[in-house]
Amino acid sequence: MHVHWCLMKEKTHILPFFTTLTLIGFTAAQHHSFSSNADPRDLRTTHIEQNQRQLLYYREELDIEDEYLMLPPCLKFDNPRLRSAYIALQAWKQAIISDPLNLTSNWAGPDVCNYTGVFCATALDDSSIQTVAGIDLNHGDMAGHLVEELGLLTDIALFHINSNRFCGRVPKTLKKLKLLYELDLSNNRFAGGFPCVVLDLPKLKYLDLRFNEFEGDLPKELFNKDLDAIFVNHNRFALELPNNFGNSPVSVMVLANNKFHGCFPTSLANMSKTLNEVILMNNGLRSCLPKEIGLLKKVTVFDASNNKLVGSLPDTIGDMESLEQLNVAHNMLSGDIHDSVCLLPHLKSFSYAYNFITGEPPACLDLEDFDDSRNCFRVRPKQRSTLQCKVFLSRPVHCEAFNCHEFDPSPPSQPLPPPPVTSPPPLVYSPPPPPPPLSSPPPPPSLVPPSALPSPPPPSSMPPPPPIHCVPSPPSPPPPPPPPFYSPPPPPPNSPPNSPPPPPIYQSPPPPNSSPPPPPPFYSPPLPPPNSPPNPPPPPPIYQSPPPPNSSPPPPSCAEPPPPPSPPPCQAQPPPIQYLPPPPPPVYNPPPLPAPVYNGPLPPITGISYASPPPPSIS
């Protein structure tokens, strides 16, 4: 009987504070009535139900006020971390509204290590206990949102949920995941500004946000983080790339299919020691290609196609000795291609179609894969008309007129901490790593801009979305500064990529959904309120004083949602001054003003044409 009750009460209940107070009052009255004329068996049942529930976790620690979680104490866990993981996963399961593959059907019972998509390993700081070390629900087609309780999974090193239908914003409580190494939120329906909470993850190496609906600008702090891979392609990011772009130590940078504009980042050349692949295709970058890109001697893939680049192709590209794929198609480049570019030893694919280039060396025609169509070559097929070329080439290009930031050859302002070789904490969790690179990340090749670009159009002033300023991790509080934001990168686990991380093809590890056996069913009706309620005073008046800051010890690094105003607006409203003096006049002699008409353009919904992210292009 006791076990049966425990299984039925296994579900985690999240009750608002005010509801709890109401139900507690009702329960107390009911208990009083039982004491006079109730059946002793009913009294015993009530006593058991009231005393076998306890306050387990106060959600204010997760920046959620006036709510708490209850859990039957008869659920036994090997350690408190597994109990916290149970709370997080059960709260998340309640927020999943569609699970067509039934990946969460066995998310029942205290054995969270047997949940599908959940992987456990020994804790890095205590080898005697097991903790949840990773979550992999890739390609689950689930719909729902991420809950704040996920911040309780403080031991996970990877969080993979790509190719689902999760929406909303990324909760700020993820900043508690101090061991998180890989974060893959790609191919979902997340929206809003850049999730600045990722800047508070000191051990993060792999960030994948592609195929979502994020917008605004990229915070400059992103490029100071010690990451190895940044994928933010196929979103709605806009504005100019920051000047510290080249400070990033990544090996793969994919910013394709957004709405970035302005100058091509000259600081890219500062990434010569680490960068292997850079894809900036299908944005609005408008300037000349800097000659300093020739310093990128380790780059194998360079794609700046479908932009508004002008001038000639720098001869220094011939110094990019590792280059295998070069794509500058669909721009407004002119001049001649230098012989050294097509003679690069590893170059296999070179596309410079849809430009106004006038000269190509014979070596380019010997490449395995090249495309020189729609240029101004007189003896080649599929070229532009003589009139188009004449009109465009009659106007010389002055690269200095773009006022781009000049290249600063100094190393990154923040020296990268060397990888510690002290004690290799083996992240021996069983989840498969992100996919081994099938090939270098090919950009989505389905975009074919107009064929004729007779003259360079003026820079299209894109409507700037509200910028997102992610203040650095230790923002300006007077207390002693928190520990250094960029702690030394962790020794990479067995799974994550060391040098070239996974390409931008959706081959992330599929969710292993075979081994865990489903425990018995659960989730019975909600429990009545606990017998030990919080203090009885009702909640104070709304906004009587300025709301307290969100959690001062680790302040959020993203100022994307405006902080609560320090002087509350209702402070100056006690005397209703404005309502009494102006009574409505009985006669409206003056004609009513016409309703305001918005002659100006409505906020444009330009950019990528899809309303929801398309499925990943699997090649």
Instruction: Provide the whole-model pTM.
Output: 0.63
CATH topology of domain 76-248+484-517: 3.80.10
- Outline which parts of the chain fall under CATH 3.80.10.10: 76-248+484-517, 288-403
CA distances (Å), origin 513, targets 116, 117, 163, 210: 5, 6, 16, 25
Which residues share a beta bridge with 215? 193, 236
Pairing of strands 325-327, 236-240: unpaired
Question: Listing from the earlier edge strand, what are the strands of the sheet with 356-359?
Answer: 310-312, 332-336, 356-359
Tell me if 192 sits within 8 A of 214, measured CB to CB. yes
Pairing of strands 13-16, 67-71: antiparallel
> CA 497, 498, 503, 509: dihedral to nearest 10 degrees?
0
Instruction: At 47, list the tokens.
Output: 């006593």
What is the Cα Rg of the chain in Å?
A: 30
- Top CATH class of 288-403 equals alpha beta
Instruction: At 379, list the tokens.
Output: 């003896």
Confidence (pLDDT) at 448? 36
Question: How far is residue 522's CA from residue 9's CA, in Å, rounded to a whole number?
Answer: 8
Confidence (pLDDT) at 469? 54
Query: Would you list the DSSP string of 223-278?
Result: GGS--SEEE--SSEEEEEPPGGGGG---SEEE--SSEEEES--GGGGGGTTT--EE
Q: What is the mean pLDDT of each run of 10 residues along the chain (619 residues)?
A: 44 42 44 43 39 41 48 88 96 98 96 98 96 98 98 98 98 97 98 98 98 97 98 97 95 98 95 97 97 97 98 97 98 97 97 97 95 96 96 94 86 47 39 39 38 40 49 45 41 41 41 39 39 42 41 41 42 41 45 39 36 43
In sequence order, which residues have a C-beta less than 8 Å from that of residue 398 and are 6 or more positions away?
none
Burial category of 430 from C-beta neighbours within 10 Å (exposed 0-12, middle 13-18, buried 19 and up): middle
Confidence (pLDDT) at 428? 37
CA distances (Å), origin 75, targets 72, 131, 163: 6, 17, 33
Confidence (pLDDT) at 133? 98
